[in-house]
Amino acid sequence: ISTLVICGVTSSMCVESTVRDAGQRDYRTFVVADAIGELDQERHDAALVTMGYMFAHVVTVPDVLADWGIRD
C-alpha cells in the first residue's frame, strides 16, 4: 500500500491526525474534502488548509470517482 484516500468524521481531530501520520510515513495521501465532517465550518476549512499544505492532496468525491473511472 502506497496511496491512501482518507474520509471520516471530525476534520480537525481524527482525520487530521490520520493524515499527518500518513504523510510522515511517506504515504501518498488524499483527503476527500466533501467526505469528511466537522461541527464547525471554520475548523473544517482550517484543517483542510493545514492538511493540504504539508500532508495530503485535498480532493473531492467527484475527483476520486473520475480518477477511478467511476461515473456518479
CATH of the domain at 62: 3.40.50.850
- C-alpha cell read off for 19: 493524515
Is 44 a domain residue? yes
Which three cell numbers mark 51? 492538511
- The pLDDT assigned to 70 comes to 84
The answer to the question of residue 72 being in a domain is no
pLDDT at 60: 97
What are 20-49's pLDDT values in tens digits? 999 999 999 999 999 999 999 999 999 999
Mean of the per-residue pLDDT values of the chain:
94
Is pLDDT at 56 greater than 80 in this prediction?
yes
Domain ranges, residue 31: 3-67
Which amino acid, 51?
A: M
Q: What is the DSSP string of 24-52?
A: HTT-EEEEEEEEEE-SSHHHHHHHHHHHH
pLDDT of 18 above 80: yes
- Give helix 16-24 / helix 41-54 axis angle, nearest 10°: 0
